[in-house]
Amino acid sequence: MKKIKYPIPVIEHFSAKPILIGGAALAFHGVKPLDDDYDFIVSPKNFTQLQQVEDLKKLQMDDDLGLGIENFEFWLSIHGYQYDFWLEHAIDEEDFYVLSLEKLTFMTAMVADQPHYYQDLMLLINKIKSIK
């Protein structure tokens, strides 16, 4: 997997490592190529701290709140599930965690009614089937 550009913006505001999700997590697991878009789940405490940073753009997806800067997004929750739920079985990297393959499949299945995400779900299923 191509390395994430360092430093991750605003990482000095994190008291807990963020969790890499989305397309970059798919790339980490070898499911598809890495693009230059990085999405993270952050702890509620970190999200509160990030809200004080002026350069961050407010984001919303359904009922989930996020903050963005450059090609990085930091989410308080995804599908209503917060940091501790997604942290289970996450892979510990130096500056962040990576969402587990199981949780990534669950996350993708929740939006598989959209064609792009359905394709990602099929790629995940094929990846899981290939693991022996």
What predicted TM-score, i.e. pTM, was given to this entire model? Answer: 0.91
pLDDT, tens digit, for every residue of 107-122?
A: 999 999 999 999 999 9
Q: Which residues of the chain have pLDDT under 50?
A: 2
At 35 the pLDDT is: 85
At 40 the pLDDT is: 96
At 7 the pLDDT is: 58
HSE, side-chain direction, 13 A CA sphere, residue 96: 28
At 24 the pLDDT is: 93
At 32 the pLDDT is: 93
109 Cβ contact partners less than 8 Å away, ≥ 6 residues apart: 121
Domain borders along the chain are 13-105
Measured CA to CA, the distance from residue 90 to residue 84 in angstroms comes to: 10
How many residues are present in the chain?
A: 132
3-state secondary structure of 96: coil
At 30 the pLDDT is: 93
